[in-house]
Structure 1
Amino acid sequence: MTSTESRADRFTRELSELKIPDPSAGRSSLWLRLGIALMVVGPILGVVAYFMSHNTSDALVQRDAIVVSILGVAVAVVGAALYLRYSLTGFLRFWMARQSFDLGMLAERTSDSEVQA
């Protein structure tokens, strides 16, 4: 490590050497936005089904409303799973790179202290 290179510069250089993809690139942000959209659409489907079932006395339409409401719950659950998966992936990717960097720094300090002793 040169004296002019700061710890942050070294971290970004070593991060690029690890070939860890940038979380902002790729389709992860698309999947994250899709998860948010599905979490919004799910309750909307539930509200639509509620009004659909209460505006009629026809049993067939009410059963269709039950199906729509169950579909709304499923859509919301899938949206929440997508959101959690892609939001945690970005965080854990950075955390793993940070752990790798810190372990490298610890190994260097340990080897430097062994050489001096």
Structure 2
Amino acid sequence: MTTTEPRADRFVRELAVLKIPDPAAARATLWLRLGVLLMAGGLALGVSGYLVSHNTVDPLVQGDGLALGLGGISATVVGSALFLRYSLTGFLRFWMARQSYDIDLLADRLLERDIHHDPTGNDAAPR
């Protein structure tokens, strides 16, 4: 299957046919930004909880500070997981589509080579 269409244009066309969602889609971008906000907010909560618990001698306020710090740590972990999930998802979808395209191209090359192959063992076409 030989075409005069450039390889990059063919790849973009086949991505459109496969209906692979754009990595910059609105919902994925929302979750990605939420993950970044949770990471930053969680760090701020953790630091403020540390400062609150260490700048007082009242055990009730120290307990509140510790709870605030643990909530900040939890928010940071959840935000990191969201950020990793949605940043890697877009990349891995594109990578898998690229792998599929490259394997298809390899199969086309192998089929062309088999067409030009002489079954008697005297190959006229170079490999």
1:2-50 CA-to-partner distances (Å, cap 9, x unmatched) read 32x1000000111111111111123111111111111111110012112
Q: 1:51: Cα distance to partner?
A: 2.2
Structure 1: 5+ residue stretches without partners: none
Instruction: Note if 1:42 corresponds to 2:42.
Output: yes
What is the distance in 2 between the residues matched to 1:9 and 1:50? 55
What is the distance in 2 between the residues matched to 1:65 and 1:77? 19
Equivalences for 1:95-114 in 2 at 5 Å?
A: 95-114=95-114
Give the corresponding residue for 2:17: 17
What is the distance in 2 between the residues matched to 1:25 and 1:77? 24
Q: 1:100: Cα distance to partner?
A: 0.4
What letter matches 1:87 in structure 2?
S
Structure 2: 5+ residue stretches without partners: 118-127
What is the distance in 2 between the residues matched to 1:14 and 1:65? 55
Q: 1:57: Cα distance to partner?
A: 1.7
Give the corresponding residue for 2:3: 2
Which of 1 and 2 has greater Rg? 2
TM-score (norm 2): 0.86
What is the distance in 1 between the residues matched to 2:49 and 2:21? 42
Q: Going by fraction, where is helix more abundant, 1 or 2?
A: 1
Equivalenced residues, count: 116
What is the distance in 1 between the residues matched to 2:12 and 2:85? 25
Give aligned-pair identity as a percent: 58
CA RMSD across the alignment: 1.1
What is the distance in 1 between the residues matched to 2:88 and 2:61? 40
